[in-house]
Amino acid sequence: MTNLQHYITNSELEIERDMGDPYITWNSNTYICVTSVAQFSRELETGGFALVKMLTATIRLFNCDGTSRFTTLPTPQQKITYSVDGLQYRIESVHTDPTKSYIRIVAEGIAKGI
């Protein structure tokens, strides 16, 4: 782990604690992360647009001791569960930051008409 990765990891830990340690569950493991959820009307259905929940999760790639949190990274189309609302989301994209310190997952709520 580089000094920059160490600094980013410690900063993310502080943000996670301040947010109450929300987490996602993926591949039978839990990952504390920094999250946001937004609702969009982006799918046209009979009678109008359906509300869709979008989850964005920023997840540290390293533990405090410098060990990796993942053996493999999540991929699009896999499902995650968000601890705050208990809902399942389908991953649309996974991006790694340029410093390789964290990943950002963008996922869409599976349940329609939320």
Which architecture characterizes domain 3-109 according to CATH?
Beta Barrel (2.40)
What does the domain layout of the chain look like in residue ranges?
Answer: 3-109
3-state SS assignment for residue 3 = helix
Q: What is the pLDDT of residue 110?
A: 87
Q: What is the pLDDT along the chain (114 residues), one digit of tens a residue?
A: 889 898 899 899 899 988 899 999 999 999 999 999 887 666 667 777 777 889 999 999 999 888 999 999 999 999 999 999 899 999 999 999 999 999 999 999 987 544
Which residues 6+ apart lie within 8 Å of 101 measured at CB?
4, 5, 8, 9, 12, 60, 61, 62
